[in-house]
Amino acid sequence: MGTHKRSPVVLLLASLTFLLFSFAHFCRAVNDTIKQGETIRDGHSLKSENNYFQLGFFSPVNSTSRYVGIWYTFDQKAVVWVANRKSPISDRNGVLRIEVDGKLVLRDGNNKLVWLAPVTSSANNTAARLHNTGNFVLSRNDSIDDSDANTALWQSFSNPTDTFLPGMRVPVSSKIGVSNPYRSWKSATDPSPGNYSMGVDPNGGQQIVIWGKEGRRWRSGQWNLQFFIGIPYMSNNVSSFHGFKISLPDETGTMYITYKPPTQDLFRFVISWEGKERQLKWDDDKKWLPLQSEPDPDNKCELYNYCGNYATCDRSNSRRICNCLEGFKPKFKDQWDQENWSAGCERKIQLQCQSTNRTSRENGKPDGFKKLKCTKLPDLATLLPSEENTEACGKRCLENCQCKAYAFVTGIRCMVWTGDLIDMQHFQQFQQAGNFPFFYRLHHSELDGGRKISNLVIVIICVVVASFLVASLWLLWRYKKKVKVSSMPCCKDKDVAIFDVSKSKRKEFSADLSGPSDILIDENQDNGPELPIFNFGVVAAATKNFYEGNKLGQGGFGAVYKGELPGGKEIAVKRLSGSSGQGLEEFKTEIILIARLQHRNLVRLLGCSIQGEEKLLIYEYMPNKSLDNLLFDATKKAELGWRSRLDIIEGIARGLLYLHRDSRLRIIHRDLKASNILLDAEMNPKISDFGMARMFQGNQNEANTVRVVGTYGYMSPEYAMEGLFSVKSDVYSFGVLLLEIVSGQRNTTFRSSDHTSLLSYAWRLWSEDKAIDLVDPSIRDTCSPNEVLKCIHIGMLCVQDSAVHRPTMAAVVLLLESETPTLPMPTKPTYTFLRSAIEEEYIGDAQEIVSSNDLTVTVIVGR
Ligand SMILES: *[C@@H]1O[C@H](CO)[C@@H](O)[C@H](O)[C@H]1NC(C)=O
Ligand SMILES: *[C@@H]1O[C@H](CO)[C@@H](O)[C@H](O)[C@H]1NC(C)=O
Ligand SMILES: *[C@@H]1O[C@H](CO)[C@@H](O)[C@H](O)[C@H]1NC(C)=O
Ligand SMILES: *[C@@H]1O[C@H](CO)[C@@H](O)[C@H](O)[C@H]1NC(C)=O
Ligand SMILES: *[C@@H]1O[C@H](CO)[C@@H](O)[C@H](O)[C@H]1NC(C)=O
Ligand SMILES: *[C@@H]1O[C@H](CO)[C@@H](O)[C@H](O)[C@H]1NC(C)=O
Ligand SMILES: *[C@@H]1O[C@H](CO)[C@@H](O)[C@H](O)[C@H]1NC(C)=O
Ligand SMILES: CC(=O)N[C@H]1CO[C@H](CO)[C@@H](O)[C@@H]1O
């Protein structure tokens, strides 16, 4: 009886639960997804799963027209996308739906078609989902839950209106040509296409451009693989274009502009209806905070070609903002004097090569080039990627009378200008952006400099110089004993106290270079640093005579000491031990070549010092020491959050890529490990000790070597066992390092319960789909699982046994940067199993080697 009575209750409860469950499920599905046959009427909306974005009908301020759009749930006015921007609906009877043929359409109250999502391929059973990124994606309904938008039939991110959201990718290639997918609203109250658009122009180097009604209005300058060279302060995060990047080309030669915000906050980029490009950040005060806009409304120089042709714009020049290039004069003097700059400037003297007099054209002195620094390079360049250096680039330009100017920029290579020189800007401070010498063509008679200096000027200069000399002599005499050197050593010849080589000797020194290397160090060329030679005594004093307490570490090639130069500048000094097997001159050459490698992820070599057998290398000092100090320290490792670890991984990858591919020397590091990654004050990673192997062994490119330099645990199988090395050996070490950074464990001392090495442990977890367990417990809760898994996957690809199967660093950088790359399956790293077995065996009598995991081991391989 009792059971009989209870059963309807049980049944009711069960069905209620079932109903609730299916209702909840139904709600979630309805809320971010619309399926075939379903509709969204005016008044209803979809919400992304994370509740940031909402899709539905809206009216702009002071307007009654209805549009379908996407906005932030917490700020309905911040509309990021509009479907029917050109065709508003006048009443509230609009319906968005997926029809039986699979098309996503918007119809008005009379069932008239208002808007249709333009699909590239059609399918008859589709659904559309509003993703957490704000991307509205139409796909086949069996792939609707893919976060990967590759299966999309149509997506709002590929059809943007005026807003660039993180996660969007704009394709760039010369095949596509100029593309300007972003177009401003007509006014604050009207989303129809307005006067301004933004996009990229791939011609003559990729750059971001804002177009107005009459053509270009602003441009970023070309991308040099690190930043856009026309934006002042681009190296800092002050510009609103911070975070924009152009990816390396994929198989089809297409690159993508992507945007990764500087922080985790919500960001959006809008090309506003007034033609300003704004970066907006959602602030804690619940409002959008504009960070910077381009063109900067206060800076006329940012307006495209504001000063006209052959003129530079300089906002810091209080007398006049526009100035003709030297050798040029205003085209219309009276207009120019009235500050009507639009006509620009023209040549004072016609070029020799353009002369109509044949005799003088062929027999006269050829034209020359004048060098300009701190300049935003002109627009509309032609690239000559085959030219290797500044000299070759200049030669090509001189051969062609149409060529008006050239510049050589690492990452872009040779640029020449055959049209008018337009949109030039003088940067105020010496910034990274303006750090590219620019050469423009002039008649030789214009190059001699101040030809007609009046006597008065000469007299004034003489007097000033003389009094300056007297004053300096007096000052020198007065402070001689108190202050020996007050400033940091730089490449100038004045700091005699620090440099023990006189100017003439130094010239000799650089002249030595033209012999063994093919790189000429020309004093007039600013394309490379001169290497300061430090006085040995000064360096010894700076390190308190290599005092043990100042020792920062012991690397493979010598001990490193902290030092402080007179004047307070901190340095790190590497005291090279042992013989390099090279002559002194070869050694110097090598150092200079290495000093020319400059990248933000490489430690900078400031100079060297040589006295007898003693050889010192002077580096910038890194306050946060080396990565292993933080990463493997139980208490400090928590300071390294996932974001900084990812930044470190990416930075190392970029630095390594530069060594492998972008620098001229093609350096294989051969000893990449956590203790060789130094961290600066902002925790940016810098690779140290690069080029050492090369310095000690000459410069074979890919070869067998009799001497294996490397560290156990980071050595690739082919290198450790056969002494074979290539760029792929570095990729292997990078893979190990990456897994160490993710797991917070040292490869060499790692021992899991079943005595496997880190790599085999990682492989096991990975192949069992539990890779997340590898992640350092101190970051496991705060990291982004997708990113971590992607990294681990990349790491597994890098540590494959076969060098051929490992990706190149270029591919690694690309994979790290893509949101959802398609990754190949790695093969099992068997070598690591093998090796850990060997290590087990030796653990008894080879304790030293196993525990001194940080020591660089030099093994002589008999062959
Ligand atoms: C909307 O209309 C009001 C009143 O006419 C006006 O003050 C306001 O500036 C308008 N807003 C916009 C964005 O045009
Ligand atoms: C949907 O497409 C499939 C294959 O493309 C086709 O076989 C099927 O008949 C279509 N269904 C409808 C209802 O059109
Ligand atoms: C596809 O859509 C239909 C409704 O049109 C639905 O019944 C079915 O479950 C969907 N299939 C998948 C895999 O989502
Ligand atoms: C857009 O251009 C038109 C015609 O050139 C002009 O009348 C209008 O004021 C411009 N709009 C804006 C917002 O600048
Ligand atoms: C720039 O970066 C620094 C730290 O790197 C940060 O404190 C500052 O807020 C950033 N500025 C902007 C505008 O994002
Ligand atoms: C500036 O000069 C151009 C011709 O070079 C002329 O068309 C324009 O009207 C001038 N503008 C002003 C404000 O004088
Ligand atoms: C051409 O130039 C040469 C030397 O520069 C000069 O002697 C000769 O008179 C010129 N001829 C003409 C036609 O101007
Ligand atoms: C469009 C729609 O059906 N929205 C629903 C989303 O879910 C909430 C509750 O979770 C409902 O109140 C909305 O009606």
Phi, psi of 226 (to 5 degrees): -125, -40
Taking CB atoms within 8 Å and a gap of at least 24, the contacts of 248-254 are 248/810, 248/813, 248/814, 249/173, 250/814, 252/173, 253/173, 253/175, 254/171, 254/172, 254/173, 254/175, 254/176
Write out residues in the chain with pLDDT < 70, as ranges.
1-30, 146-150, 233-242, 292-294, 428-434, 448-459, 478-530, 555-556, 578-583, 662-664, 696-710, 751-755, 831-863
Ligand 7, pocket-test mutation among 360, 361, 365, 443, most atoms within 8 A of CB = 360
Three-class secondary structure of residue 159 per DSSP: coil
Ligand located closest to 101 CA: 2
Q: Which two tokens stand for residue 38?
A: 């379903």
pLDDT at 486: 30
**Ligand 1: centre distance to CA 61 (Å):** 7
Alpha carbons 604 and 589: distance in angstroms, whole number = 17
- Could you give the CA distance from residue 698 to residue 105 in angstroms, rounded to a whole number? 67
Assess whether the C-beta atom of 804 lies below 6 angstroms from ligand 1.
no
Q: Which residues are annotated as a binding site for ATP?
A: 574
> Residue 355: which region, alpha, beta or left (left: phi > 0; alpha: psi -120 to 50)?
beta
Q: For ligand 8, atom 2, name the residue with the nearest CA.
A: 31
The alpha carbon of 342 and the centre of ligand 6 are apart by a number of angstroms equal to 7
How many other β-carbons are positioned within 10 Å of the β-carbon of residue 633?
13
Q: Is the dihedral of CA 426, 429, 431, 437 positive or negative?
A: positive
Question: How high is the pLDDT of residue 226?
Answer: 78
Q: How far apart are CA 729 and CA 847, in angstroms?
A: 26
User: Which amino acid belongs to residue 425?
Assistant: Q
Is-catalytic flag, 250? no
Ligand 5 atom closest to residue 263's alpha carbon, by position in its atom list: 14
Any idea which ligand is nearest the CA of 358? 7
- Orientation of helix 642-657 relative to helix 727-743, angle to 10°: 170
Give residue 489's pLDDT: 29
Give the per-residue pLDDT at 669. Answer: 85
Work out which ligand 7 atom sits closest to the CA atom of 364. 5
The CA 369 to ligand 7 mean position distance, Å, reads 24
Q: How far is CA 327 from the centre of its chain?
A: 37
Which domains can be identified in the chain, with CATH numbers? Answer: 22-159 (2.90.10.10), 167-297 (no CATH), 302-442 (no CATH), 483-620 (3.30.200.20), 627-845 (1.10.510.10)
- Quickly list DSSP for 549-580: GGEEEEETTEEEEEEE-TTS-EEEEEEE-S--
Residue 77 Cβ < 6 Å to ligand 1 = no
pLDDT value for 533? 81
Q: What is the pLDDT of residues 274-296, one digit of tens each?
A: 888 888 888 877 889 887 666 77
Among protein residues, the one with the nearest Cα to ligand 8's atom 5 is: 31
Index of the ligand 7 atom closest to the CA of residue 357 = 1
pLDDT at 648: 94
Predicted pLDDT at 701:
42
Give the span between the Cα atoms of 807 and 792, in whole angstroms.
14
CB of 189 shorter than 6 A to ligand 1: yes
Taking a C-beta distance cutoff of 8 angstroms, is the pair 69, 55 a contact?
yes
Neighbours of 69 (CB within 10 A): 24
Å from CA of 508 to ligand 5 middle: 45
Residue whose CA lies nearest to ligand 3 atom number 4: 36
Q: Residue 387 in contact with residue 352, Cβ under 8 Å?
A: no
Q: How many C-beta atoms surround the C-beta of residue 847 within 10 A?
A: 10
| Catalytic residue chosen out of the listed positions 367, 379, 671, 854 | 671
Ligand 7 centroid – CA 405 distance (Å): 27
The finding on whether 31 has its CB within 6 A of some atom of ligand 8 is: yes
Please name the residue ranges forming H helices in 314-452: 333-337, 358-363, 390-399
Beta-strand ranges (E) seen in 351-494 are 368-372, 375-376, 382-384, 405-409, 413-417, 424-426, 438-442
Q: From the CB of 59, is ligand 1 less than 6 Å away?
A: no
